[in-house]
Structures are given as C-alpha cells and as structure tokens.
Structure 1
Amino acid sequence: MANTPADTISLKALVDKERNQIMFIESENAFIDVVLSFLTIPIGTIIRLAPKQSVPLEIGCMKNLYASVENMDVKHFRSKACRDMLLCPLNGAEVHCKNLKLKIDRGEPTRYYICGSECPGLSYSYGVRCEGCGRNIYSQRELSAIQDGDIFVKGLARLIISDDLQLMPPLTVKSLSVFSELGVMNGNTTEEVTFNVGSDEVLKLLVCSLVSKTPLTETLLKNKPIRKLSNENQVMDFEPEIAEGTTNPNGNISVKLIVSKSKKMVCYAEVGEDFVSLLLSFLTIPLGFIVSKMRDCSLRGCISQLFKSVQDLDNRYISNNHKETLLSPKLAPGCCYDNHLLGTEEATFYYSSTYDRLSSDKTLLISRILADYVTTTSLAESSIKSMKVKDPKSYQDLDKGYLGPAMFTVTDDLIIGPISLIFGLSLLNELKVPSTDIEEKTVHVGKEEALRLLVASFVCDSALTNVFIREPKQNKGPKQEQS
C-alpha cells in the first residue's frame, strides 16, 4: 500500500484461476465510495465519457439524444447555457464526489458565485443579475465538502464487493454462503491478485456495469469489447412508481405519432418544444434515479445489483443521509423546469455567514458550526440560509424548458431535429413504409408516460413504439386519439 501511486487505488482480489474470473475484491473504502458514486452520475456525463473506451457505449436511445443536442443549432435553445448543461450536466451530489480518490470526470470544477448582500442569490456564472436584490453576483465560493473523512461508506466499516457489484460485510455467514456456492472456498483453484486501479479502469468498470454481469472481471482480467446495452424490439414490462397526488392532468404534453399500421411501430413523431425538453432532460438524470424506477424491467448489466446492495446496507456501514443521496439522487439546482413530469428533485444549496461555507448538506454544515463556532443548534441554524439559484437556462426570470418555441421531428430511437417534410418522407422510404400504410395518432404524455419514456430510452432502441404502441402486460398504455 505504501508504494501505491497517489492516483491509483490498490485492490486485493480473489481470482478463480480455472474460470479466469474475479470472485470478490477487498479494498479500503476509497474504492467502494468510487463505485457507489456511479449512482449519482448524470446520464449525459456517462455518454460523454464512454467514447474514451475502445468501443463507445450505446445506452438505449440515450446516445442519440446526446448527439441530437450536439448537432442542434444553438439558436433552438433558450440560451447557450441550456445546451452546455445538457452536454456537461452537473452532478447534484458534487459535494460528496469532489473528494473521491479517483474521478472519471476530470474537467474544470463548477464555479459558484453568491450575492454579496443579505439576499440568498447564487449563480454558476460571474456577474449575472441577482433576482432578489437586483445587484450583480460577483463573490465566488467553493462548494465545501465538510464531511469528517466519510464520503459514502463509514470510515472503518470495510466492505467486500463481488464481481456483480454486490456489496457485503466481510466474514459474515451470508457472504461465506454466497462464495461457497461459487466455489471460492476451494483453495486449489483460487489465488490472491493485487491490482492498482486508476481513473481509466474506473470508467471502464462503470461502462461494463451497464452491460455485463461480471464487470470487475471484464475490467481487470479480460480484454473483451464493451457490449451494446440497447436491444431492438425489446418489449418492456414496466409499471412506473408514481407517488399519489403528483399527476397533473392539466400539464399533459400532446404528441402526434406517424405510425405504420402493418408493422405496428412508430415511424416518427411531430412534437413541440415541451416534449423535446422532456426528452433532453433525461441527460441530466442521475443513473440511480433511473434504476430506482425500473422495477420489473431487467438490465443486461448489474448496476441494479449495486443499487439493491445500498438498500440492504444498515447504518453500521452507511448513514441514512448518504444512503438517500445514492438511492434518491437529486439534480443539480437549475436543471428542473415547471412542467417536468418525472418527479425529480433538485439539491438545495446552503450558505453559512458564520462559517462562510457553501454546501448542499445542511446537517453536516450545522454539525461543523456547532463544533467550531457556536454552542446551540438555534444559533447555528440562524446563520444558515438556503440559496436560490439563478436559472442557468435563461437570463429571464422564467422556469421553463431548454428550447424556444418550435416544432421538431423525433424518430423512434429518439433522433431529434427541426421538423422537416423531406426528412419525414425519406425516413418512411428508409423504413419501407408506403404512404397508404401510415396513420396519425395523438397521445398525451403525463407522469406515467414520462417515466416509461425515461426507462425505455435507457434500455431499448425503439422508445416511442415501446411506450405508445406496444402495451406492457400490466398496463393498458396511454390513451390514443386517432386523427
């Protein structure tokens, strides 16, 4: 361990020599924290970083959504900041992830500026006008990670991690039983191997966790091409988890589908900017939020196993606050908009004038103030104010989507472009669908359809068909109005 380079983590693995497969890994919690951080990473960040691997990862239709943003003229966006925040989405758990020993995204850190007056104004941009007092925001602050050593896992609570990313306490009856079934107890076929893992290996592990049941083996032992996650003609059996009282029937989005009657598939859709903003918002969604909504929809990879492991860990190994961060990851402030149907929440920033710190963790901020500055909780809380983030999507005081008013064409696999008759006709020709075989159907997108679209975009190549044409076994599907 003393000779381990600063930019690597040493892992001790038990390897099955006959199958050339990693059975499990022991490591300090630095590596476990890195793996757990996968659940907080926005999908757009994964798509942006994945091409650094030898074979680019295609997560359902997500790659097409990302490419659509790259290819779309900036004039279609409310501002350049809208496009930038989709291509490089912020992590709502940055306060935790900034202290990870290995980071897969080593770009410029986010800058934060607060209003110098008493109003709670905050911005990602220098010199913009504060919505509260009207002054310009110039005072830069760092987002403080104020944990006492812990990022996600508690300091001395060591865990082991299996090849399929199952986390377990060491030397328990459960873990011994699991590995006994795998043949690990046979010392003649196993050996200990030490690996030094850097950021490149961590990125490959993240990609493999989405497509493989053995991501540690594929990352550290084998040189296999990264497989494609999407699956043509996959039919989803998905019933989204919807909180009571959150559906807004008046906020439904209308979508016109061009459908092949004989093939029972969506050729393309003609939509407004509200539907496209919903689709593009998928790029800002943390991986853990998508996994939490999948329920009956299985994945080829094992990221859902990691999610379940966090659910099963008790507070000896992870605090309730950190568990919530991983199981219900929030968006960075400024990413939501008023007709967002997914039920996502934004993180909240807090600033203490006493401590002169900006943080997204109020509980830890109070604890540090109590330890260093004041003696009562009421005094600590009185110095803290929640910050109102200047909407980075516009210089106007609006809370809308990413795009200005316009009409767009969206293909079944979610390639988005300005509406075009020529493109529509060429697409029908490419699909070998004659004009006599098409019909128009109007569907309405509410909370249930939005969640199904999110999951379909992550797991299959034909998101519109799966959500609006092929009815899941346990759902009647959205209501349709034939034009």
Structure 2
Amino acid sequence: MAQEVSDARNISLKALVDKGRNRVIFVEADNDFIDVLFSFLTIPMGKIVRLARDHSTALEIGCINKLYQSIEKLDVQVFRSNVCRDVLLLPHCAANCHCKNLKLKIIDDVEPTRFKCDNFDYFPWLSYFANVPCPSCSHTLGSEVYLSVDDSQVGGVFVKEGASVIITDDLQVLPQLSAASISLFTKLGATNSNTTEELTFNIGVEQVLNLLVSSFVSKTPFTETLLKPNPVPKLGCVNSSQGKCIESQMSGDSIDEEKEKNISVKLIVSKSKNVVCYAEVREDFVNLIFSFLTLPLGFILKQMLDFPWKGCIDQLCKGVLDFDEQFFKSNHHKELLCNPKLVPGFSFENNLLGIEEAVYYRFYDNKYKWTSDSSIIPSNQSSVEVKFLDPKSHGDKDRNARGFLKEPAIFTVTDNLDVRRASPIFQLSVLNDLKVHFTDIEDRTVHVGKNEALRLLVASVVSDSVLTNAFLRKPQEPSIKQEQ
C-alpha cells in the first residue's frame, strides 16, 4: 500500500493491521498525536459542523446541522449584533492558547483582539472592541492586550513529552503494556503474526479531520481514515432515538437554582401520533438551543458517557478520564480536557446547562503574565482576576438585553430544530408535511429548567426528533454508570 510522503508537519503512526479483514487493530501514539486526539474535546460543536462542511465531508450530528443552517438563514436583524451571529457560526475554542501549539491543527483560530482599561491596575476589565467605556471608571478600553498564556511546563501541549499509548480502532486509549491491552490484543487476534502486519503512516491535517468526522459515525475510524482512501458517501444521522426518553448523565449536577430561570414552551402535538409537530417559543428558548453550537465537544460527551453511540467518539472522553494522571503536564491541563469551558463573555446568561467560562488571571513575576492556571502563580505575588465585557452587547442600545437575539421575538421551532420567525404559513406547511390534520392537534405548555435543558442538548446530538424525545417520552430507569 502506498504511503504518504513524510512531512515535517506530519505525525508518524505505527499501526498493526489485520491483513485478512483490512482493518487497523491499533496504533502506537506518542505525545504529539495524543495531544491532537485529546484536543478534539475542546472544539465547539459549531466549529465541528463548519470544519466538516469546509472540507466537503458529509456529517450530520443529530439536529446540530439543522440548528447551524437555521442561524445562517435567519435575517441578521433578528440578532442583537453581527457579533452574536458570528459567535454561533464561528465559535472560538477557549483552549486555543494551548491548541495553537499542537503539531497538527485542524482549527486555526486567530486569537480575538482584546483591549484593556487605562486604569487596568484598579479596574481589570477587558473588551473585544476598542474604545468602549469602562464600566468602573470614565476611561475607555483602548490599549491592546496580547493574551499570551503563561505555561511554565515545557514540552507537549496537554500531556508530557515522551508519553506513549496504544489506541484501538474504536479509540480506546490504553497503556502500551497492561493486562487490559494484552487481553484485548488476544481477543482481536493481534498476537498472530501470520495474519497481521505493521504499517507506518504519515498523518496530516486532512487525516486528522477525517478521523474526527469518522469517529462520530463509525466504530472503526482509523480503518476508515488510513486504509480506505475513498470517503464514506454520506455519513447520515449519528443516532436514531425515536421512541425513548433521552436522559443526560449529569442531570443531577449542581447548578445554582437561584439563578435558574425556567423557559416556557408551547408545544403543538399530534394526538394520534404523540409527536411534537412544532413549538411556539420566545427568544429565550431559541437562545438556549442556539447556544449548543458554542459548547465544547467534551462537555457534551460528559452528559452521555453511557449513551449508545453509532460511532465511538465517546471513547475519547472516557480515555481522557481514565488516562494516567502522571502523564498530564499538570492537573490544570487535564482539567482543560475533562471540563472544557467557554470563551469568556460568549456564554448564554441563563446558564441552565451549567457550563462555565474560562477564567484568566494577571500576575507579576519579573514581568506581567497571564494565565488560566491559578496554581502557577507564585505565592508571594498578588494576582487579579480579569473581567470581560459582554461582546454580545456591542452595538446593542439595550444594555439590559441578554442572549444572542433581540427581544421580544416569537419563533417556530420544528421537532428537528428548524428555527424560523413565527409564521402561520410555515406552521401550515409543517402540518401538511407531517400529514397531521387540524382536528388532531393540541397545545401543551411545558417549562424548561436545567434537567430539560440537558435532555434537549443530548437529544439534539443523537436524535432527529428532539422536542418529542425531550418532552413527550417517559424517562427510563437510570442506568448504572460505569466506574471511571
């Protein structure tokens, strides 16, 4: 089999291949490739949709694609500002200051420009736009800041230089020599030299992107990427969960209930089919579901650790959680992957999902430095937590508004998350397409709190009937979680 020409920007992978079945059994990976693979967890969902599209790769992740297309089709006047639309279509990665050091980068985010207050030592505000007034003093935020995050650990991005593992075709990350790996090798027939061969591949950016896309829909992404040169025609929907309630694995996690604001939703339901035809909602519900595009992949996967996937991308999250801590550069670097956060200032204020924004500190150690890891700040040095002005409000005269959309507004949202401005014509077309008669529909009002928001999130990733699964299906008995 022809091998790719080696390139300084490529990563060399040794793979053990089953010759008879033409399948990768496992690959040997060093810290460079481990970093690239683990970095998938930091990428926002909207960015993954855009990456796949830009590389002409057919990938449908539940109804996430439909959400993305809805934002593209909505009139720009619906959004509070152009920034709000861009935040959803081109979300930034909060870990980009680390990911920019990856040997292979499938995203090449340009760090957003930031400006500080002239009285920054007293009022530590940053803005993504120049010459806006400081909320604490009369000065403007006009001095540009380069937020180069200090990292006292040399070598590697997330894991230490010299770390090495084996990664199976379905993305199980295992130590090179362990009882678990040897048992797995025996099961897969890897110990029979007559049926296996060792091949070396030079992996570039295109192969890394194909690996990411394939892992959503295939149990054999390495085989699809390395041994099958022709892409899968159309990868289709990640999973079909019609007929059962979808539960988040973390629905009981702590979210400040005092800050929780329930959202009211009017469902138009077919009585005979017991499915949601569409929902009539205000901008607060649309803000919530649009915010799914800003969420890092790792945050979403943690909600569904035991959920049955068509692909094997969930193994990556489990691999990070189980990865030997001694091989991470620090606890902070592991935290970046296990609990990825949002870019400061870009979250939806009614945070029913419980995700946090990244926090940055400025401290002095011979010179001013920035870090998101408070543990590296010398104990004899003071530090200040940096605050960010809400970029979504830039250009919006209503400073009390929240979210991405102008208030007030009414929308129609279909079961598969096609979002339109409220329109009787569109609602009629939905009923006609579903072959539902007027006499067969009824209104049901439901309220969205933290549990419902997490169910909506999970359903949007794995189902093509999101509203039906989130609101009409009866919850199943909770499954016993696997030990992490």
Q: For the residues of structure 1 that align with 2:473 and 2:304, how far apart are their CA atoms?
A: 17
Give the direction of change, closer, same or farther, for the CA distance of 1:251–1:134 in structure 2 (3 Å limit).
same
State the match for 1:130 in structure 2: 134
Give the direction of change, closer, same or farther, for the CA distance of 1:186–1:134 in structure 2 (3 Å limit).
farther
Q: For the residues of structure 1 that align with 2:370 and 2:150, how far apart are their CA atoms?
A: 9
Q: For the residues of structure 2 that align with 1:161 and 1:202, how far apart are their CA atoms?
A: 14
Instruction: Give the match's secondary structure for 2:191.
Output: coil
How far off is 1:87 after superposition? Answer: 0.7
Q: For the residues of structure 1 that align with 2:255 and 2:385, how far apart are their CA atoms?
A: 26
State the match for 2:212 in structure 1: 206
Q: Is the 8 A contact 2:100 2:108 kept in 1?
A: no
Decide which of 208, 211, 221 is 1:215's aligned counterpart: 221
Q: Is the 8 A contact 1:238 1:295 kept in 2?
A: no
Q: For the residues of structure 1 that align with 2:210 and 2:342, how far apart are their CA atoms?
A: 24
Which aligned pairs between 1:400-479 and structure 2 lie closer than 5 A?
Answer: 400-405=402-407, 406-474=409-477
Instruction: Give the match's secondary structure for 1:358.
Output: strand
How far off is 1:154 after superposition? Answer: 1.8
Instruction: Give the match's secondary structure for 1:425.
Output: helix
Runs of 4+ aligned structure 1 residues displaced above 4 Å come to 396-399
Q: For the residues of structure 2 that align with 1:115 and 1:154, how far apart are their CA atoms?
A: 37
- Which runs of no fewer than 5 residues in structure 2 stay unpaired? 479-484
Instruction: Give the match's secondary structure for 2:370.
Output: strand
State the match for 2:316 in structure 1: 306
Q: Deviations over 1:363-388 (max 9, x none)?
A: 34x2xxxxxxxxxx3333x1x21110
Q: Is the 8 A contact 2:255 2:450 kept in 1?
A: no
How far off is 1:224 after superposition? Answer: 4.2
Q: Is the 8 A contact 2:241 2:462 kept in 1?
A: no
Q: Deviations over 1:169-198 (max 9, x none)?
A: 112222112111100011111111111111
Decide which of 21, 29, 32 is 2:31's aligned counterpart: 29
How far off is 1:4 after superposition? Answer: 3.8
Instruction: Give the match's secondary structure for 2:446.
Output: strand
Q: For the residues of structure 2 that align with 1:153 and 1:249, how far apart are their CA atoms?
A: 36
The answer to which of 224-233 and 209-218 deviates more is 224-233
Instruction: Give the match's secondary structure for 1:269.
Output: strand
Q: For the residues of structure 2 that align with 1:246 and 1:108, how far apart are their CA atoms?
A: 33
Amino acid paired to 1:129: P
Which aligned pairs between 1:2-17 and structure 2 lie closer than 5 A?
Answer: 4-17=6-19
The answer to which of 51-60 and 263-272 deviates more is 51-60
TM-score (norm 2): 0.90
How far off is 1:416 after superposition? Answer: 0.5
Which aligned pairs between 1:162-311 and structure 2 lie closer than 5 A?
Answer: 162-222=168-228, 223-225=230-232, 227-228=235-236, 229-231=238-240, 233=242, 235-241=244-250, 242-244=252-254, 246-248=256-258, 251-311=261-321
The answer to which of 39-48 and 26-35 deviates more is 26-35
Amino acid paired to 1:151: V
Q: Deviations over 1:116-165 (max 9, x none)?
A: 32221112223333323342223231332524123111222212211111
Give the direction of change, closer, same or farther, for the CA distance of 1:134–1:195 in structure 2 (3 Å limit).
farther
Amino acid paired to 2:391: P
Decide which of 149, 154, 171 is 2:160's aligned counterpart: 154
Q: For the residues of structure 2 that align with 1:33 and 1:26, how far apart are their CA atoms?
A: 13
How far off is 1:83 after superposition? Answer: 0.6
How far off is 1:239 after superposition? Answer: 4.6
TM-score (norm 1): 0.91
Amino acid paired to 1:418: R
How far off is 1:401 after superposition? Answer: 0.8
Q: For the residues of structure 2 that align with 1:259 and 1:28, how far apart are their CA atoms?
A: 53
State the match for 2:359 in structure 1: 348
Give the direction of change, closer, same or farther, for the CA distance of 1:171–1:207 in structure 2 (3 Å limit).
same
Q: Is the 8 A contact 1:268 1:409 kept in 2?
A: yes
Q: Is the 8 A contact 2:32 2:156 kept in 1?
A: no
Amino acid paired to 2:128: Y
Instruction: Give the match's secondary structure for 1:159.
Output: strand
State the match for 1:96 in structure 2: 98
Q: For the residues of structure 2 that align with 1:145 and 1:198, how far apart are their CA atoms?
A: 28
Q: Is the 8 A contact 2:133 2:140 kept in 1?
A: yes
Q: Deviations over 1:347-372 (max 9, x none)?
A: 012223443333322334x2xxxxxx
Amino acid paired to 2:135: E
Q: Is the 8 A contact 2:35 2:156 kept in 1?
A: no
Q: For the residues of structure 2 that align with 1:399 and 1:387, how far apart are their CA atoms?
A: 23
Aligned Cα root-mean-square deviation (Å): 2.0
Q: Deviations over 1:395-427 (max 9, x none)?
A: 365472111110001010001111001110111
Give the direction of change, closer, same or farther, for the CA distance of 1:350–1:245 in structure 2 (3 Å limit).
closer
Give the direction of change, closer, same or farther, for the CA distance of 1:399–1:203 in structure 2 (3 Å limit).
farther
Decide which of 142, 149, 162 is 2:147's aligned counterpart: 142
Amino acid paired to 2:380: L
Q: For the residues of structure 1 that align with 2:211 and 2:406, how far apart are their CA atoms?
A: 38
Give the direction of change, closer, same or farther, for the CA distance of 1:250–1:21 in structure 2 (3 Å limit).
closer
Q: How many residues align?
A: 460
The answer to which of 55-64 and 132-141 deviates more is 132-141
Q: Is the 8 A contact 2:259 2:350 kept in 1?
A: no
Give the direction of change, closer, same or farther, for the CA distance of 1:450–1:237 in structure 2 (3 Å limit).
closer
Q: Is the 8 A contact 2:281 2:413 kept in 1?
A: yes
Q: Deviations over 1:190-247 (max 9, x none)?
A: 1111111111111111111111111111111113415221427253442542224634
Q: Is the 8 A contact 1:95 1:145 kept in 2?
A: no
